[in-house]
């Protein structure tokens, strides 16, 4: 241990002495000096991407006339394209930067998150995807309210959607702010505003067509970039993963423990709760569920899931390699760290820009400044594409569910509904900028975990119960779904991650960071119980209406083709 | 789509068979995925050390290929379902819907 510190201080000391200025400035100078040279290709590539996506948005705006175009790209996306777009929604800044950062910080633990995110996919396919396509039109609330009360169900679905979108957006905005801050030296707030403004433009003008194509292009760029990075890392170790792990264990301060589950999951309840949130949260994310309405039929919906699972799985394997690559290639190199006055640095927490920047620094280490520029541009593109999808989901929920169905009771023109959706996109963008600014110092991967807990505890139970159980009634869904949502949010707020780390209270009132085990149970039991207790005339009619819904969900007969009018 | 069409489809023997077959198949695959995944999670929860057992004399632990296996199994299970649903199940559905119409 002492020897290790000695080596560290020697390395750090050399850097400080070489700079002949105070260590703090030295770190700053290293950052600044490094950046100027690297900045030009990065900025150039940012601009190329932004210009290209604005071009797509313009093209999409020309084609977006009807509500079906705006919400569901007119049903004209193929299974393969949709698979890429879904994968793109997954390969968010939180997955790419957060997971590789988590692997960088604690090794094996990163794999627990990626595996959990992935295994939700088969379940979505087996139980939900085709029924969703057969029953719905634009939002998942269409499916839940198929035979249930429009006002009650859509209000709840909108609440569930907006809560998830808010949590998820915070995570993405934080990633965006940190990334651009590091890359341009642009203040965090300005970076967040830039991202917010671009996403508003994509969604408000280009609707689902633009949102989908931005996502597809970015997915290709990111898969290409991550593949190159992983290959370079593996090449460094002669394509021997054993050699890579060996080097990582030698270098990492946690030594051998990075090769086994560590502190991420400390007890069985947390493990199961996290697992449930990751797995079933996937099946409740509104921006993902919306993607099933952009394809022509159930067959294409299934294919999308197959391609998406392949791309996502492949991507997570790459992320794991990238995380280990970052351990081996960055940790001994002080230029990537904030070096303290005595020349030492913490190999994990002192990484410039935080551990979430591990993948970005690695791109410099394996591919030089040009590749750093490329990966930075891609990471930026990633955030933009994902926040655009989230914003669209949120805006659709406000205009299609809340406004058109709840407030106007269906008496609203298509033009007016679309216009309202665009205004909602603007409002959501502004709120996202504000929230992104407040939550600057939260771990991004973890914030996504919070979004998943809410999705798993409100949207997912509501969807499953309305599709699979004849006895489900509006009152049951409303009360059960609301209880699931409230309990998930409350437990998250009272959990160690928010109550102690964010609010600064001494002890958390709820012991687990992931409440899904409890909140999902509350939601399912709530829906079941309050449906059973519902003896109203309406409840009986709703239960009778299950049969036609069932036939349509199984065959697709009479399903809304989301085609252009 | 009127009530009559729904009733006729619902009364169709092939429809009931299709749904029963597909539902069984989907739940079977779901169960497989859940067992694999929660098996992995339970090992992490109850015996985290066991995943840290090195393979042979190296530092690579059995947790790594096991995690990889979960990822690959998700892909394979989806492939199995999509293949059967897009060929066999869709053909039966089409047949029923066309007959009824």
In chain B, residues 26-55 whose CB comes closer than 8 Å to chain A = 26-27, 29-30, 33-34, 36-38, 40-42, 44-46, 48-49, 51-52, 54
Query: What is the rounded radius of gyration, in angstroms, for the C-alpha atoms of chain B?
Result: 21
List CB contacts of A374: < 8 A, sequence separation 6 or more: A41, A42, A45, A225, A363, A367
Give counts: helices (H), strands (E), chain B: 5, 0
Residue B90 in contact with partner chain A when CB distance is under 8 A = yes
pLDDT at A560 (0 to 100) = 58
Distance CA A239, CA A251 (A): 19
Contact B6/A306, CB-based, under 8 Å? no
Per-residue pLDDT of chain A (565 residues; tens, 9 = 90+): 333 222 222 222 222 222 222 222 223 323 333 333 446 777 788 889 899 999 999 999 998 889 999 999 988 999 999 999 999 988 877 678 888 999 999 899 888 888 888 888 898 899 888 899 999 889 999 999 999 999 999 999 999 999 999 888 887 888 788 777 777 667 888 889 989 999 999 999 999 999 999 999 999 999 999 999 999 999 999 999 999 999 999 999 999 889 988 766 667 788 788 888 888 888 899 999 999 999 998 899 999 999 999 999 999 999 999 999 999 999 999 999 999 989 899 998 899 878 888 999 999 999 988 898 899 888 888 888 989 999 999 999 999 999 998 998 888 898 999 999 999 999 999 999 998 888 787 655 566 767 888 899 999 999 999 999 999 999 999 999 999 999 998 998 888 877 887 777 888 889 888 899 999 999 999 999 999 999 999 999 999 999 889 988 988 887 755 443 3
Distance CA A370, CA A38 (A): 7
Contact A260/B46, CB-based, under 8 Å? no
- Rounded to 10 degrees, the C-alpha dihedral A207/A213/A217/A223 comes to 90
**Closest-CA distance of chain B to residue A126, Å:** 5
Nearest to A284 by CA among A429, A31, A466: A466
pLDDT at A184 (0 to 100) = 66
> Using an 8 Å Cβ cutoff, are B14 and B100 in contact?
no
Nearest to A563 by CA among A293, A212, A305: A293
Judging contacts by C-beta atoms under 8 Å, the chain A residues touching residue B19 are 554
pLDDT at A196 (0 to 100) = 93
Judging contacts by C-beta atoms under 8 Å, the chain B residues touching residue A555 are 9, 15, 93, 96-97
Please list the ranges in chain B whose pLDDT falls under 70: 1-2, 101
B-chain residue closest to A303, CA distance: B82
> Would you tell me how many other CB atoms lie within 10 Å of the CB of residue A371?
20
Distance CA A363, CA A342 (A): 28
**Closest-CA distance of chain B to residue A514, Å:** 14
Reported as a single tens digit per residue, the pLDDT across B79-95 is 999 999 999 999 999 88
How far are the Cα atoms of A326, A331, A336, A372 from residue A365, in angstroms, in the given order?
A: 9, 11, 10, 8
Judging contacts by C-beta atoms under 8 Å, the chain A residues touching residue B8 are none
Q: Give ∠ CA B22-B28-B29 in degrees, rounded to 5.
A: 95
Residue among B9, B67, B72 minimizing CB distance to A111:
B67
A-chain residue closest to B11, CA distance: A551
> Using an 8 Å Cβ cutoff, are A121 and A89 in contact?
no
Residue among A114, A115, A261 minimizing CB distance to B51:
A261
Distance CA A285, CA A305 (A): 14
Nearest to A356 by CA among A172, A134, A522, A150: A172
Contact A245/B68, CB-based, under 8 Å? no
**Closest-CA distance of chain A to residue B7, Å:** 8
SS3 A504: coil
Judging contacts by C-beta atoms under 8 Å, the chain B residues touching residue A558 are 1
B-chain residue closest to A555, CA distance: B93
> Using an 8 Å Cβ cutoff, are A430 and A196 in contact?
yes
Which DSSP state fits A253?
A: T
Contact B37/A305, CB-based, under 8 Å? no
List CB contacts of A400: < 8 A, sequence separation 6 or more: A67, A71, A138, A139, A141, A417, A421
Two structure tokens written together for B19: 């749904």
Residue among B30, B52, B85 minimizing CB distance to A123:
B30
Sign of CA dihedral A355, A37, A12, A181: negative
> Using an 8 Å Cβ cutoff, are A457 and A469 in contact?
no
Contact A259/B1, CB-based, under 8 Å? no
User: Exposed/middle/buried for A411, CB within 10 Å: 0-12, 13-18, 19+?
Assistant: exposed
SS3 B54: strand
Contact A260/B36, CB-based, under 8 Å? no
> Using an 8 Å Cβ cutoff, are A158 and A286 in contact?
no
Distance CA A303, CA A75 (A): 15
Contact B15/A555, CB-based, under 8 Å? yes
SS3 B1: coil
| DSSP assignment of A316-370 | HHHHHHHHHHHHHHHTT-GGGB---TTS---TTTTBTT-GGGHHHHHHHHHHHHH
> Using an 8 Å Cβ cutoff, are A489 and A454 in contact?
yes
**Residue written as token pair 């169905």:** A405
Residue B75 in contact with partner chain A when CB distance is under 8 A = yes
- Rounded to 10 degrees, the C-alpha dihedral A461/A466/A470/A472 comes to 70
Judging contacts by C-beta atoms under 8 Å, the chain B residues touching residue A107 are none
A-chain residue closest to B100, CA distance: A557
A-chain residue closest to B79, CA distance: A306
Distance CA B19, CA A503 (A): 51
List CB contacts of A317: < 8 A, sequence separation 6 or more: A230, B68, B71
* Full 3-state SS string of A410-455: CCCCHHHHHHHHHHHHHHHHHHHHHHHHHCCCCCHHHHHHHHHHHH
Contact B1/A557, CB-based, under 8 Å? yes
Two structure tokens written together for A388: 């655009």
A-chain residue closest to B58, CA distance: A242
Q: Which residues pair with A337 in a beta bridge?
A: A351
Q: Give ∠ CA A394-A396-A399 in degrees, rounded to 5.
A: 110
Distance CA A356, CA A100 (A): 7
B-chain residue closest to A301, CA distance: B82
Distance CA A2, CA B71 (A): 40
For chain A, what's the residue count? Answer: 565
**Closest-CA distance of chain B to residue A460, Å:** 16
């Amino acid at each position: 241990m002492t020897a290790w510190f000695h080596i560290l201080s020697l390395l750090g000391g050399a850097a400080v002495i070489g700079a002949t200025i105070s260590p703090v400035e030295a770190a700053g100078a290293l950052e600044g000096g490094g950046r100027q040279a690297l900045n030009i290709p990065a900025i150039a590539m940012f601009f190329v991407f932004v210009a290209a996506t604005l071009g797509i948005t313009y093209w999409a705006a020309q084609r977006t006339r009807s509500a079906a175009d705006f919400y569901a790209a007119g049903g004209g996306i193929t299974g393969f394209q949709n698979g890429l777009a879904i994968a793109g929604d997954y390969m968010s800044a939180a997955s790419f930067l957060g997971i590789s950062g988590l692997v960088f910080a604690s090794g094996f633990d990163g794999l627990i998150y990626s595996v959990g995110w992935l295994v939700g996919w088969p379940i979505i396919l087996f139980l939900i995807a085709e029924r969703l396509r057969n029953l719905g039109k634009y939002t998942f609330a269409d499916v839940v309210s198929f035979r249930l009360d429009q006002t009650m169900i859509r209000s709840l679905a909108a609440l569930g959607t907006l809560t998830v979108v808010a949590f998820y957006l915070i995570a993405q905005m934080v990633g965006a702010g940190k990334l651009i801050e590091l890359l341009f030296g642009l203040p965090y707030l300005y970076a967040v505003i830039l991202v917010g403004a671009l996403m508003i433009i994509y969604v408000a003008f280009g609707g689902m067509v633009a949102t989908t194509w931005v996502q597809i292009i970015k997915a290709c760029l990111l898969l290409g970039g991550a593949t190159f990075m992983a290959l370079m890392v593996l090449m460094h170790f002669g394509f021997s993963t054993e050699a890579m792990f060996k080097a990582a264990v030698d270098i990492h301060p946690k030594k051998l423990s990075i090769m086994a589950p560590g502190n991420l999951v400390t007890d069985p309840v947390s493990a199961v709760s996290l697992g449930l949130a990751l797995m079933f949260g996937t099946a409740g994310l509104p921006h993902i569920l919306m993607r099933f309405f952009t394809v022509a039929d159930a067959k294409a919906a299934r294919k999308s899931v197959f391609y998406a699972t392949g791309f996502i799985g492949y991507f997570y394997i790459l992320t794991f390699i990238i995380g280990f690559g970052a351990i081996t290639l960055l940790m001994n190199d002080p230029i990537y760290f904030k070096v303290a006055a005595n020349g030492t640095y913490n190999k994990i927490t002192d990484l410039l820009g935080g551990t979430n920047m591990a993948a970005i620094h690695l791109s410099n280490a394996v591919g030089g400044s040009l590749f750093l520029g490329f990966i930075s541009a891609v990471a930026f593109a990633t955030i933009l594409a994902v926040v655009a999808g989230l914003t669209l989901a949120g805006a659709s929920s406000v205009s299609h569910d809340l406004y058109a169905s709840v407030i106007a009771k269906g008496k609203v023109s298509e033009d007016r509904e679309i216009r309202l959706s665009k205004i909602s996109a603007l409002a959501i963008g502004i709120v996202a900028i504000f929230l992104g600014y407040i939550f600057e110092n939260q771990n991004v991967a973890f914030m996504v975990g919070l979004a998943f807990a809410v999705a798993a505890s409100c949207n997912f139970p509501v969807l499953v119960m309305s599709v699979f159980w004849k006895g489900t009634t509006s009152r049951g869904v409303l009360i059960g779904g609301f209880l699931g949502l409230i309990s998930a949010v409350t437990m998250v707020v009272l959990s160690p991650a928010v109550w102690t780390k964010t609010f600064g209270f001494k002890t958390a009132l709820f012991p687990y960071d992931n409440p899904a085990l409890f909140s999902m149970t509350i939601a399912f039991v709530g829906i079941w119980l309050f449906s059973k207790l519902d003896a109203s005339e309406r409840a009986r009619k709703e239960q009778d209406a299950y049969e036609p819904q069932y036939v349509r969900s199984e065959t697709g007969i009479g399903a809304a083709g989301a085609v252009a009018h | 789509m009127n009530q009559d069409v729904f009733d006729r489809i619902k009364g169709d023997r092939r429809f009931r068979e299709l749904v029963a077959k597909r539902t069984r198949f989907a739940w079977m695959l779901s169960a497989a995925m859940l067992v694999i995944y929660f098996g992995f999670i339970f090992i992490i929860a109850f015996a985290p050390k066991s995943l840290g057992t090195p393979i042979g004399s190296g530092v690579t632990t059995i947790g790594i290929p096991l995690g990889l296996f979960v990822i690959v199994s998700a892909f394979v299970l989806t492939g199995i379902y999509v293949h059967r649903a897009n060929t066999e199940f869709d053909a039966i559905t089409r047949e029923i819907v066309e007959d009824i119409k």
